[in-house]
Structure 1
Amino acid sequence: MHSAHLTRRLMIAGTFGLVCARKGVAQTTSDSIPSSLPAKASRTICFVGGYTKHCPPGVEGNGEGIAVFEMDRQTGVLTPVTTFTDIASPSFIVLSQDHRFLYALSEISDYNKAGHGAVTAFAVDRSDGSLKKLNTVSSGGAGPAHLSVHHSGRYVLVANYNGGCVAVLPIRPDGSLGEVTDVVHNSGPRQPERAADNPQGNFAVSDHSGSHPHMISSDPSGHFVLADDAGLDRIYVWHLNLATGKLEPAAKPYYDMTPGSAPRHFVFSPNGKLIYNLCEQDSKVIVSSFDPATGAISNLQSVSTVTSHFRGSTLAAEIIISANGKFLYASNRLGDSLAVFTIAEDGTLKLQDEAWMHADYGRAMMLDPSGSFIFCANQRSDTVTSFKVDPHTGEIAFTGQFTPVGSPTTFAFLDTVG
C-alpha cells in the first residue's frame, strides 16, 4: 500500500464488516487534530503509529503518521477518525500514566547533525483524544526503537537501537520535553548472530554487531530502570537519580542472556516480582524472579513461543500480559503467529495455543483498556488484525476484522472522560 493512498483506504469499510468511516474527515498537517467523534459520555480511542516514507534504510514506510481511531467496545471495530502527519516514522508511542500526554519517537538517524533520532511530545485532550504537538527534541542517539515514561512521571526513557545507547529526557510541567540529561552507551563482547537453541530451520538472524538496546522501562516500583540489549544479549539494570536525571548502575549492572538470543521486550507481573523477557532470535520467553529491593534477577524457566512441531524461520517481537496476571501473549514475525500462555501460581508458563495472525509480520500487540481484545500491528501487510479474548481462559478468537494502516508498528489506547 502506498502512503499516498492511506487516507482513501482509511475511509473505506473493511472486508469483514467494518463500520463505514464518516465522510468528510480529512487529514491535517497542523499541530493539532480536531476531533470529529460523536458526542458520548466515554469512548475508547486507539492511536496507531508506524513507519512513514522518512524511515530507516531497508524499511518500506507506507504510513503517514499517527492514525487515530475510535474503537467499538462491543465488536472491537476500529473506525478511522484522522491522522496526524507532522511526524516521521513514529514506530513507538506511549501515553503518560495520567493520559494527559503522548510521546512518540521518530525512528530516524538524521534529526540533527549528530545523526540522532527524535522524540515528540503531544498534549492529549482527554475528552475527545485530540492531540496538540508541544515540541520535538533529540532522542540522544540514532534510530530509537522504544520509549517509556518513568514510574515517577518525570522522565521519558529512550532505547536508541542503532546508536547503541539509552537516554533520559526530562518532562517539563507542561508535558513538553527538555534536552537529554543522560546518555549511556553499552559495551561488551561480540555475540553470535543466531542462538544455539533456535527453532529448527530458523534462518533468520539478529544484529549482534554491537550494542542494540531494544527496550527500556522502569520496574513497577520505580526503584530500577531495566533495558534489553538485543545486540549484547544482556539485561541492564540502573537506578534513576530523580534529582539529576542520571542513570546509576545497580549493584549488579547487567545479566547475561543466552548468546545470540537477542532479548527484545519484557513485561512484569502485576506484583512486580516476576519478569517475562522475550528473546527475538530463539523465540523464547525467559521467566525470572525480580527483587524490587535490590534489582536482582534469577532465571526460573525458558519456554518457546512456537509449538514443538514448528519448523522454519521466526523472530519473536512483542510480549504482553493480562491485567490479572493470568495470561501472557507473544507475537512471532515470519511465522506470523500469536502465542497464548497460561501463567501458573508460581509464575511459570504453559503454551496453550499458537494462533495465526491472519497477516504478515505481526509485530506490536496491545490489549484494549478493558482487556476484551488483542490488536496486532502487521507491518508488512499494512493492516491491524484483532482477536476476542476469553477473560476466563485467556483463549483468543479471530474477529475477522482487518483495519488498513500503512506499516503499523505500535499502539496506544485512551478511554475518554467527561
Structure 2
Amino acid sequence: MTVESQRLLVFVGSYAEAGDNGVYVYAFDEATGTLTLTDEFAGLKNPTFLNVDAKRKLLYVISETVNQAGQKVGEAAAFSIDAAGGSIQLMNREITVDSTTCHIQRYENGRFLTVTSYHGGMIGLMSITEEGAVGSLLDVRQHEGSSQHPDRQDRPHPHSSFYSPDGRYLLVSDLGLDRIVTYALDELNSKLVHQSEVALHPGAGPRHLSFHPNGKLVYVINEVDSTITSFTYDKESGQLVTQETVSTLPPDFKDENSCAEIKVSADGKYLYGSNRGHDSIVVFAIHEQSGMLVLVQHISVEGGHPRHFAITPNGDFLLAANRDTDNIVTFKIDKASGKLEHTGISTTVSKPVCVVPVYLTT
C-alpha cells in the first residue's frame, strides 16, 4: 500500500499579455519560506484571479478575450494539476460573461463557478462538467445603481463573490453601490436568487470579505475609504448586520491609499488586510466574545501595491503579492501575537495579483 504525502504548492495569477507567461506554480518550502518555480503557463490575457479545487487537483483561472463581435469579454480556463511534478495542463477555456472579470470563486461541491465583472456590473454562474472542465453560463445577475464617489461609484462595480461556509448563500461586495448583495444558490434550477442586501456607509467601496471560522462573523475590506467593516452573519437567513468600522491606516498617514485583500486567520484570532499606497499589511486582533477589532501592527510589504496576499494552510506564513514591484514577499506569522516578521525572502514575479497556497496529495 502506498503512503500518500502532501505537498504545498503556490499558484500565482498576474497581469500579462496572452503571449507571455501569466500563471505560475511554485513549490513552497515550509522550513524556510522559499518559493521555487515548478511551472508556468502562457496563452491567457490577464489571468488575474485563481481558484484551486485541492481534492480534484483542478485549477480555475479567469482571463480576458474577445467575442465574435470583437467585444472584450470574460473567459475562464480549467487546468489539471500534477501535484508531484508541480505542473499544470490546460483542460479547456470558455467565454463567461459579456465583460471582463476580476474574480472567480467555486462552490465547494464542485458543480458551480461564479465570476465577477467589475466593469460590467454583473455576476455570472457557470457550470463545472463532471470531468472538472469549465462548463456553460447558467445565470447572470446584473446590478444597478450608484453611490457617492463621482469617479469610483458612478455605476455598479461588484468586485468579488464568496460562498458562505455552508454553501447556501453567495455574498457579493459591490464597490460601486456600497452594498453587499446576498444571493441564495438555487442548485435545482442553477440560478442565483436575490436574498438580501446590506448598505455600508457612503463612500466605503467594499471589495473582498472573509468569514470568521465560527461562521457568525464577516469582515469586509473597503477599497475606497481604507476601512474594514465587521458584520454579524445569520446562516439561516444569510442576513448581515453591521457591527463596527475601523481604519486600516495609521492616524498620521495622509497620502492616497486603497485597500485590497482581507483574511481571517484559521484560528479566528487575527485579521489581516492590505493597504496600497501605505504599502502595508495591517494586523488586528479579534476579540473572542464580541468579534471587535484591536490594532496590532502595520508592517511594510517590502514592495509596492499589495493587490493580494494569502496565508499558508498551516498558518505559519503570509505571502504578499506586490503588483508594482514584481515580487511576492514571504512573512513569518507569530501565532501567539498575530504579528508578521519579514523573512528577507522576496520572489521575483511579473505583476503578481493573486496568490493561492494549497496542500495537494501527491
Q: TM-score under structure 1 normalisation? A: 0.82
Equivalent residue for 1:243, pick from 159, 183, 188 = 188
The question of whether the paired residues in 1 share the 8 Å contact of 2:146 and 2:156 is answered with: no
For 2:295, the equivalent position in structure 1 comes to: 351
CA shift for structure 1 position 41: 4.4
Higher mean C-alpha displacement, 77-86 vs 211-220: 77-86
For 2:28, the equivalent position in structure 1 comes to: 71
Mapped to 1, the partners of 2:309 and 2:96 lie a distance apart of: 24
Mapped to 2, the partners of 1:276 and 1:409 lie a distance apart of: 21
Secondary structure of the equivalent of 2:324? helix
For 1:221, the equivalent position in structure 2 comes to: 166
Mapped to 1, the partners of 2:304 and 2:169 lie a distance apart of: 36
User: Is structure 2 residue 92 aligned with structure 1 residue 161?
Assistant: no
CA shift for structure 1 position 209: 2.5
Gaps of 5+ in 2: none
Secondary structure of the equivalent of 1:181? strand
For 2:213, the equivalent position in structure 1 comes to: 270
For 1:58, the equivalent position in structure 2 comes to: none
User: Is structure 2 residue 361 aligned with structure 1 residue 412?
Assistant: no
Mapped to 1, the partners of 2:345 and 2:115 lie a distance apart of: 33
The question of whether the paired residues in 2 share the 8 Å contact of 1:63 and 1:405 is answered with: no
For 2:345, the equivalent position in structure 1 comes to: 401
Aligned residue type for 2:14:
G
Secondary structure of the equivalent of 2:250? coil
For 1:317, the equivalent position in structure 2 comes to: 260
For 1:191, the equivalent position in structure 2 comes to: 148
For 1:285, the equivalent position in structure 2 comes to: 228
Mapped to 2, the partners of 1:151 and 1:372 lie a distance apart of: 25
User: Is structure 2 residue 13 aligned with structure 1 residue 49?
Assistant: yes
User: Is structure 2 residue 191 aligned with structure 1 residue 232?
Assistant: no
From the superposition, tell whether residues 247 and 41 of structure 1 become closer, same or farther in structure 2 (CA, over 3 Å): closer
CA shift for structure 1 position 99: 4.8
User: Is structure 2 residue 216 aligned with structure 1 residue 260?
Assistant: no
From the superposition, tell whether residues 168 and 392 of structure 1 become closer, same or farther in structure 2 (CA, over 3 Å): same
How many residue pairs end up in the alignment? Answer: 357
The question of whether the paired residues in 2 share the 8 Å contact of 1:117 and 1:139 is answered with: yes
CA shift for structure 1 position 138: 1.4
For 1:340, the equivalent position in structure 2 comes to: 283
| 1:327-376 deviations in Å (ceiling 9; x for gaps) | 11000011101101101112111111100111011110001121111001
Secondary structure of the equivalent of 2:255? coil
For 1:295, the equivalent position in structure 2 comes to: 238
Gaps of 5+ in 1: 1-39, 55-61, 194-205
Aligned residue type for 2:99:
A
Q: CA RMSD in A?
A: 1.7
The question of whether the paired residues in 2 share the 8 Å contact of 1:129 and 1:414 is answered with: no
Mapped to 2, the partners of 1:343 and 1:109 lie a distance apart of: 42
For 1:135, the equivalent position in structure 2 comes to: 92
Mapped to 2, the partners of 1:304 and 1:285 lie a distance apart of: 6
CA shift for structure 1 position 255: 1.4
From the superposition, tell whether residues 181 and 363 of structure 1 become closer, same or farther in structure 2 (CA, over 3 Å): same
Aligned residue type for 2:326:
D
CA shift for structure 1 position 120: 0.4
From the superposition, tell whether residues 111 and 95 of structure 1 become closer, same or farther in structure 2 (CA, over 3 Å): farther
| 1:250-269 deviations in Å (ceiling 9; x for gaps) | 1x3x2111222110000001
CA shift for structure 1 position 111: 4.9
Aligned residue type for 1:384:
I
Higher mean C-alpha displacement, 81-90 vs 325-334: 81-90
From the superposition, tell whether residues 52 and 111 of structure 1 become closer, same or farther in structure 2 (CA, over 3 Å): farther
Mapped to 2, the partners of 1:235 and 1:213 lie a distance apart of: 9
Aligned residue type for 1:242:
E
Mapped to 2, the partners of 1:255 and 1:104 lie a distance apart of: 29
For 2:336, the equivalent position in structure 1 comes to: 392
Q: TM-score under structure 2 normalisation? A: 0.94
CA shift for structure 1 position 190: 4.2
What does 1:87-126 correspond to in 2, within 5 Å?
87-96=44-53, 98-106=55-63, 108=64, 110-113=66-69, 114-126=71-83
CA shift for structure 1 position 170: 0.5
User: Is structure 2 residue 172 aligned with structure 1 residue 208?
Assistant: no
Higher mean C-alpha displacement, 173-182 vs 149-158: 149-158
CA shift for structure 1 position 97: 5.2
Percent sequence identity is 31
Secondary structure of the equivalent of 1:374? strand
For 1:10, the equivalent position in structure 2 comes to: none
Higher mean C-alpha displacement, 74-83 vs 174-183: 74-83
